[in-house]
A and B are shown apart, each in its own frame.
Chain A
Amino acid sequence: GAGVSQSPRYKVAKRGQDVALRCDPISGHVSLFWYQQALGQGPEFLTYFQNEAQLDKSGLPSDRFFAERPEGSVSTLKIQRTQQEDSAVYLCASSLVPGPYGYTFGSGTRLTVV
């Protein structure tokens, strides 16, 4: 596609509910990143994929967070047993090749846990 597509755009979850957030990167982009952005803050790194390999998951806040990219294209970020502190915007970004180059971000999923 022309850009990075994320769905849903908004998600309200009851505390304890599991959620799944989807990212469809630009076709052919090798690198895929998930970031979490709290209100009024800069994006914070969660995890990184190069093709289907998850090379870094050091930013995932707890073992309730899980991400996958099984075929090296679409990625899903799953949060189990959501907590209020999980409320944030979850941004997906991709880049054509691995390296310290500019990302293309998706529009994000705003998760609100009530």
Chain B
Amino acid sequence: GQQVMQIPQYQHVQEGEDFTTYCNSSTTLSNIQWYKQRPGGHPVFLIQLVKSGEVKKQKRLTFQFGEAKKNSSLHITATQTTDVGTYFCAGPNAGGTSYGKLTFGQGTILTVHP
């Protein structure tokens, strides 16, 4: 079945440093979604990328979708303590009856030291 892998599993940074997490899918994706989960919280939708090579920015966050639509990255510039949490990528299954069913990566846990 479809597999979505994320690296690194953990990332510790000093406040102000940059952070990047990478996501790779075993299959071509129609789109890629990113979610953030704060400690003790639930996943919160951040963004969806659809087009090959697409790049989107949200303030200090930059999201990229690979040309082959099998990989993606999330880059945070100048991290802040509010960025702490687990970042998940998720890809929809191609076809099937669950149009919209997502396969999540295992997440990258980001800690930021002030």
Contact = CB atoms under 8 A, between A and B. Distances in A.
B107 A45 contact: no
Counting contact residues on chain A (CB < 8 A from B), the size range is 20 to 34
Contacts of B80: none
B88 A42 contact: yes
A55 B97 contact: yes
Contacts of A91: 42-43
Counting contact residues on chain B (CB < 8 A from A), the size range is 20 to 34
A65 interface: no
A104 B33 CA distance: 12
A44 interface: yes
A40 B109 CA distance: 9
B101 A42 contact: no
Interface in A84-103: 91, 95, 98-103
Contacts, number: 69
Contacts of B33: 100, 102
Interface string B57-91: 00000000000000000000000000000001010
A85 B96 CA distance: 28
Interface in A42-97: 42-45, 48, 55-56, 58, 91, 95
Given A45-B101, A45-B103, A55-B97, A100 B30 contact: yes
Given A42-B106, A43-B104, A100-B31, A56 B96 contact: yes
| CB-CB nearest 10 A-B residue pairs | A42-B104, A100-B92, A102-B45, A56-B98, A48-B98, A105-B42, A55-B97, A98-B99, A105-B43, A42-B106
Interface of A: 31, 33, 35, 40-45, 48, 55-56, 58, 91, 95, 98-108
Interface of B: 4, 30-31, 33, 35, 41-45, 47-48, 88, 90, 92, 96-107
